[in-house]
């Protein structure tokens, strides 16, 4: 194995160019701007360049709770963000049809975990695993979501609640909100397409050239140009393909405005329904529903997938257009090399089953801001550490998403037969999967310090899916009862729609 050479050669950063005006470009630029330029004077000049004629991907509607921290760090109010981005609350993901007809939840909260968790062991010893029963006992949000309640009361401060919560949002509108916010807070915005990337002999970017022939240079370049990875594909072109782990490579999507069809309620959760050749998302925003069938092109054609989506949605889908998106499950081998960093789709992608795209991008942007915050400089050692962090995060997300297929008992179509084969199991999960057949996961299984998915997330998935069946768990019965906690929540939390109407208008 080649040894990593540490050379202390700090690079100072007084100017940054972010290329790309999608969610990752604007979130990265706004977050770094708020972190490095707080306090009025602007020691770091930030420019965002976006091509007016290359559209953003425009999907990315479900998030995880840490988005609240990011938006708060950027400095935008919760009300302005929710109003501008057509946002609603997300308390959990409800998985339907992944195992027989039952559904199970992956909520963001979990009852307090006492040491060795006697309540969990007692529950496992007494109950049949599988379905919604587990989250009903161990999560308040699972119960409040079924009753269509918001995860926070009216009047509670911005981004705060007793419970962790996230949002559903319109990715295009989020971009518009952040564009206005970023420009008002000093980000220099240029609308032009980058045609050429000039490198020096060492492989560093020296300048970018626009289609009009204008030249732009900075100390650091952040590539947020989506799957095209316009800069990163020149500086650190090597990528790793993970399509042997996850088979889905396309999505057909639709937006159903409420003028066309208004469901009875705006749900405070994402629905992920398993289908013959993939799965379907159903996300309720303020003014429309977003639907998408994520599928494997080796198992269903684009036309068949669209027909299946339309059939599931019913006659009102006739009035709306469908959009087809190709994607790849991949990761750039280096996220940061020389003076170029790839963030967002330019760095990698895992299908959106656990809403992780925006999280990966926030995590990267936050880490870059943390690195540059003190002294505005970086070293080869910093970039090495950043690359390790991003690869670890990617591996964790890939593994957790793959577990949804690997723990399912569905074998009713060729897709499910292929998606659940042992050869799909990522290396780091091989041993754990056999362990988790007979015992719940524990902290020792998940050694990384930076983790997106907690132990509780693994429990909700493995128990909800009915995977843990070989165990012989001996536990004393520990009585517990969540009815008191639920009663208090029902008294405090308003209906999701009432919260939206009263707080956002
Ligand atoms: C089907 C699907 C569903 C998804 N669902 C979710 C979800 O529910 N939750 C979630 O968190 N994430 C989701 N994602 C991921 C999410 O969409 C992305 O992480 C997010 O939108 C970030 O995209 P981006 O900004 O990296 O790229 P893009 O949105 O593609 O933006 C690229 C930008 O680069 C600019 N550009 C390109 N080339 C040039 C050039 N040469 N010069 C100048 N500018 C250029 C374009 O104009 C554009 O502004 C999903 C992704 C897919 C494919």
CATH of the domain at 233: 3.50.50.60
The protein residue whose alpha carbon is closest to atom 4 in ligand 1 is 60
Can you say whether residue 20 is alpha, beta or left, with left for phi > 0 and alpha for psi between -120 and 50 degrees?
A: left
426 & 467 share domain: yes
DSSP H/E element including 90: strand 88-90
Strand order in the sheet with 250-257: 102-107, 92-99, 270-275, 278-284, 288-295, 250-257, 322-326
Q: What digits encode the pLDDT tens for the residues 63-90?
A: 999 999 999 999 999 999 999 999 999 9
Residues in the chain, pLDDT under 50: 1-3, 6
Q: Which of 365, 396, 427 is the last residue of a domain?
A: 396
Q: Do the bridges between strand 15-19 and strand 336-337 make them parallel or antiparallel, or are there none, so unpaired?
A: unpaired
79 token code pair:
């009300």
434 & 446 share domain: yes
Q: What is the rounded distance in angstroms from the CA atom of residue 174 to the CA atom of residue 102?
A: 34
- Burial of 277 (C-beta count, 10 Å sphere; 0-12/13-18/19+): buried
Can you say whether residue 72 is alpha, beta or left, with left for phi > 0 and alpha for psi between -120 and 50 degrees?
A: alpha
356 & 487 share domain: no
16 & 46 share domain: yes
Residue 5: strand, helix, or coil: coil
Is residue 405 situated within a structural domain?
no
133 & 112 share domain: yes
Q: What digits encode the pLDDT tens for the residues 415-471?
A: 999 999 999 999 989 999 988 888 888 888 887 767 899 988 998 999 889 887 666
**What is the position in ligand 1's atom list of the atom closest to the CA of 21?**
49
* pLDDT computed for residue 133 by the predictor: 80
Is residue 86 situated within a structural domain?
no
**What is the position in ligand 1's atom list of the atom closest to the CA of 281?**
8
* pLDDT computed for residue 112 by the predictor: 67
Rounded to the nearest angstrom, the distance between the alpha carbon of 49 and the centre of ligand 1 is 15
* pLDDT computed for residue 119 by the predictor: 66
Rounded to the nearest angstrom, the distance between the alpha carbon of 228 and the centre of ligand 1 is 10
Is residue 273 situated within a structural domain?
yes
Q: Ligand 1 pocket test: pick from 52, 59, 283 the residue with the most ligand atoms within 8 Å of its Cβ.
A: 59
* pLDDT computed for residue 1 by the predictor: 46
**What is the position in ligand 1's atom list of the atom closest to the CA of 224?**
26
As a dihedral over the C-alpha atoms of residue 193, residue 196, residue 197, residue 200, rounded to 10 degrees, the angle is -150
* pLDDT computed for residue 305 by the predictor: 98
Give the structural domain span for 187.
Answer: 11-61+170-244+329-396
414 & 472 share domain: yes
254 & 305 share domain: yes
315 & 292 share domain: yes
* pLDDT computed for residue 113 by the predictor: 62
**What is the position in ligand 1's atom list of the atom closest to the CA of 62?**
8
235 & 345 share domain: yes
**Proportion of the chain above pLDDT 90, given as a percent:** 77
Q: Which of 274, 298, 326 is the last residue of a domain?
A: 326
Pocket of ligand 1 (CB under 6 A): 19-25, 49-51, 54, 56-57, 59-63, 171, 193-194, 224-226, 228, 230, 251, 292, 325, 327, 344-346, 352, 355, 357-358, 361
Is residue 475 situated within a structural domain?
yes
Is residue 196 situated within a structural domain?
yes
Is residue 361 situated within a structural domain?
yes
Q: Which of 396, 424, 453 is the last residue of a domain?
A: 396
Rounded to the nearest angstrom, the distance between the alpha carbon of 222 and the centre of ligand 1 is 14
Number of domains in the chain: 3
416 & 488 share domain: yes
The protein residue whose alpha carbon is closest to atom 37 in ligand 1 is 225
**What is the position in ligand 1's atom list of the atom closest to the CA of 61?**
8
Is residue 46 situated within a structural domain?
yes
Is residue 265 situated within a structural domain?
yes
239 & 334 share domain: yes
346 & 237 share domain: yes
């Amino acid at each position: 194995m080649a040894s990593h050479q540490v050379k202390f050669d700090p690079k100072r950063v007084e100017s940054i160019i972010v290329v790309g005006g999608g969610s990752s470009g604007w979130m990265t630029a706004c977050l770094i701007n708020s972190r490095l330029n707080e306090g009025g004077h602007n020691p770091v000049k930030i420019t965002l360049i976006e091509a007016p004629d290359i559209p953003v991907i425009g999907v990315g509607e479900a998030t995880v709770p840490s988005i609240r921290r990011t938006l708060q760090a950027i400095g935008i109010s919760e009300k302005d963000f929710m109003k501008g981005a057509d946002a609603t609350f997300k308390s959990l993901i409800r998985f339907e049809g992944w195992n027989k007809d039952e559904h199970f939840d992956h909520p963001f909260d979990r009852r307090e975990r006492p040491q060795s968790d006697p309540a969990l062991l007692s529950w496992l010893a007494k109950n049949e695993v599988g379905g919604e029963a587990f989250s009903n006992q161990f999560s308040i949000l699972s119960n409040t979501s079924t009753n269509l309640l918001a995860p926070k009361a009216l009047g509670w401060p911005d981004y705060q609640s007793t419970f962790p919560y996230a949002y559903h949002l319109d990715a295009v509108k989020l971009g518009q909100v952040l564009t206005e916010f970023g420009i008002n807070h000093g980000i220099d915005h240029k609308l032009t397409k980058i045609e050429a990337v000039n490198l020096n002999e060492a492989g560093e970017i020296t300048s970018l050239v626009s289609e009009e022939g204008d030249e732009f240079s900075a100390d650091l370049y952040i590539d947020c140009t989506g799957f095209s990875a316009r800069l990163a594909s020149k500086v650190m072109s090597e990528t790793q393909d993970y399509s042997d782990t996850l088979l889905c490579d396309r999505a057909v999507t639709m937006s159903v405005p409420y003028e066309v069809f208004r469901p009875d309620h705006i749900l405070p959760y994402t629905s992920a329904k398993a289908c013959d050749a993939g799965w379907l998302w159903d996300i309720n925003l303020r003014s429309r529903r977003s639907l998408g069938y994520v599928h494997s092109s080796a198992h269903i054609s684009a036309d068949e997938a669209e027909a299946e989506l339309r059939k599931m949605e019913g006659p009102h889908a006739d009035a709306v257009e469908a959009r087809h998106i190709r994607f790849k499950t991949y990761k750039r081998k280096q996220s940061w090399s020389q003076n170029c960093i790839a963030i967002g789709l330019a760095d990698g992608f895992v299908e959106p089953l656990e809403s992780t795209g925006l999280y990966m991008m926030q995590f990267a942007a936050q880490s870059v801001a943390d690195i540059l915050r003190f002294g505005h400089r970086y070293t080869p050692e910093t970039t090495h550490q950043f690359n390790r962090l991003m690869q670890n995060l990617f591996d964790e997300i890939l593994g957790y998403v793959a577990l949804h297929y690997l723990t399912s008992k569905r074998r009713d179509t060729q897709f499910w037969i292929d998606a659940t084969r042992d050869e799909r199991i990522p290396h780091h999960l091989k041993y754990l999967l056999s362990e988790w057949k007979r015992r719940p996961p524990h902290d020792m299984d998940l050694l990384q310090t930076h983790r997106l998915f907690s132990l509780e997330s693994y429990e909700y998935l493995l128990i909800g899916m009915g995977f843990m069946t070989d165990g012989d768990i001996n536990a004393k019965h520990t009585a517990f009862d969540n009815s008191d906690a639920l009663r208090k929540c029902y008294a405090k939390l308003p209906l999701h729609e009432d919260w939206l109407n009263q707080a956002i208008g």
